[in-house]
C-alpha cells in the first residue's frame, strides 16, 4: 500500500465523495489540483441542516449502509456479502434504486424479510438530481418510493441521492415527501478498482468514529466489500467499543447532539 492510496481523494469509482453535496462543494484550482471543501456550518441555512451525514457522536454506534445502484453488467447483487450480514446478524441499511428493484424482485423480498435490515430508496434511475428541475427531481425520487410501497408494502422514509449529489431543490422535494435525506461522513471507496482491501481498511481505521455513517455498495460493484465488512465488524468496531446499527436506530435511539 502506497502513501498515494491513502492520501488521494476517494470517489468510490462512481463520483462519490465524503458526503459532499453539489451545494456545499467549492473548487479551488492550483497546479492541476482540486481541493474539495465540505462546508456544513450553521451559516449554511436551514436546508443544509436537513441533510444528515452522521448520527450523534455521543452514541457508540456506526451505521453500515449499502447502495444498490443499477448495473449494466453482472448480477447486480453481492450475495456473499448479504449472506455474511444475515448469518452474523449484522444490522445494515440498504438504499435501493427503482431500476434495481425492478430487476431484482426476489432479492428485494429477501432483504425486506431480515428484521435487522433497514431499507431506503436511491432514486429511480440513478440520475444526477441537481441537473433536473423540481418536477423531474420529484419524479426521480418519488417513483422508487411508490414502487417499494406498491409492490412490497413497505413505506421507506430514508432517501439517499444518487452520487451523493443534492441541491436546495432536492432538500425541498425530500421534505415535502416526508423523507430523510441520508448522506454519509465515511466513504469506503469500495468500487474503486485501484484500491486494495488494505487501503480501504486503513481509510476506515482513520475515519470511523462514534455516530459514523459509512457508504458501501452491495450491487456487485464493491471490490473487497465482503472482506472489509467482515474485518470491520469483527475487529475494528469491537476494539473501539462500537456496534453496527441501522440508520433508523442510529438517528432515533441515541442521545441527540450537534453531530448531524
Q: Is residue 239 part of a domain?
A: yes
Residues 134, 115: Cα–Cα separation, whole Å: 35
Listing DSSP states for 138-182 in one string gives HHHHHHHHHHHHHHH-----EE--GGG---HHHHHHHHHTT-EEE
| Domain CATH number, residue 180 | 3.20.20.370
Cα separation values, 225 from 28, 36, 234, Å:
32, 26, 14
Give the pLDDT confidence score for residue 254 in this predicted structure: 81
Alpha carbon of 139 to those of 136, 215, 223: distances in Å? 5, 24, 31
Asked, for residue 258, whether it belongs to a domain, the answer is no
If one counts the domains in the chain, the total is: 1
- pLDDT for the residue numbered 16: 59
66-111, pLDDT tens digit by residue?
999 999 999 999 999 999 999 999 999 999 999 999 999 999 999 9
Query: Does 9 score more than 70 pLDDT?
Result: no
**Which residues does residue 30 pair with via DSSP β-bridges, in sequence order?**
33
Higher pLDDT, 113 or 38: 113
Is residue 39's pLDDT more than 80?
Answer: no
- Residue reference for cell 430508496: 121
Within-domain flag for 201: yes
Domain-embedded: residue 99:
yes
Q: pLDDT tens digits, residue range 142-199?
A: 999 999 999 999 999 999 999 999 999 999 999 999 999 999 999 999 999 999 999 9
Question: Do the domain assignments include residue 75?
Answer: yes
The 10s digit of each residue's pLDDT in 208-258 is: 999 999 999 999 999 999 999 999 999 999 999 999 999 999 999 886 554
Instruction: Select the more confidently predicted residue: 13 or 158.
Output: 158
Name the DSSP class of 234.
Answer: I
**Contact residues for 82 (Cβ-Cβ < 8 A; gap 6+):** 107, 110, 111, 218
- Per-residue model confidence (pLDDT) at position 54: 96
Q: What residues make up the domain containing 97?
A: 3-252
Q: How confident is the model at residue 17, as a pLDDT?
A: 53
Share of the chain above pLDDT 70, in %: 79
pLDDT of residue 50: 81
Residue 257 forms part of a structural domain: no
Amino acid at each position: 500500500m502506497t502513501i498515494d492510496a491513502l492520501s488521494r481523494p476517494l470517489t468510490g469509482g462512481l463520483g462519490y465523495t465524503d458526503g459532499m453535496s453539489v451545494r456545499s462543494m467549492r473548487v479551488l484550482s492550483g497546479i492541476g489540483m482540486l481541493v474539495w471543501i465540505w462546508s456544513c456550518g450553521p451559516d449554511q441555512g436551514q436546508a443544509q441542516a436537513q441533510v444528515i451525514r452522521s448520527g450523534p457522536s455521543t452514541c457508540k454506534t456506526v451505521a453500515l449502509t449499502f447502495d444498490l445502484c443499477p448495473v449494466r453488467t453482472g448480477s447486480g447483487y453481492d450475495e456473499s456479502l448479504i449472506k455474511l450480514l444475515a448469518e452474523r446478524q449484522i444490522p445494515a441499511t440498504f438504499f435501493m434504486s427503482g431500476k434495481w428493484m425492478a430487476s431484482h424482485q426476489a432479492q428485494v423480498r429477501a432483504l425486506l424479510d431480515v428484521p435487522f435490515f433497514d431499507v431506503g430508496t436511491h432514486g429511480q434511475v440513478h440520475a444526477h438530481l441537481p441537473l433536473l428541475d423540481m418536477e423531474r427531481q420529484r419524479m426521480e425520487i418519488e417513483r422508487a418510493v411508490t414502487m417499494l410501497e406498491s409492490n412490497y408494502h413497505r413505506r421507506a422514509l430514508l432517501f439517499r441521492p444518487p452520487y451523493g449529489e443534492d441541491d436546495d431543490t432536492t432538500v425541498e422535494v425530500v421534505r415535502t415527501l416526508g423523507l430523510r435525506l441520508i448522506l454519509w461522513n465515511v466513504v469506503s471507496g469500495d468500487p474503486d478498482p485501484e484500491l486494495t482491501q488494505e487501503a480501504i481498511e486503513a481509510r476506515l481505521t482513520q475515519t470511523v468514529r462514534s455516530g459514523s455513517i459509512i457508504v458501501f455498495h452491495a450491487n456487485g460493484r464493491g471490490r473487497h466489500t465482503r472482506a472489509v465488512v467482515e474485518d470491520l465488524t469483527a475487529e475494528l468496531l469491537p476494539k473501539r467499543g462500537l456496534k453496527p446499527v441501522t440508520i433508523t436506530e442510529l438517528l432515533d435511539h441515541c442521545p441527540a447532539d450537534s453531530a448531524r
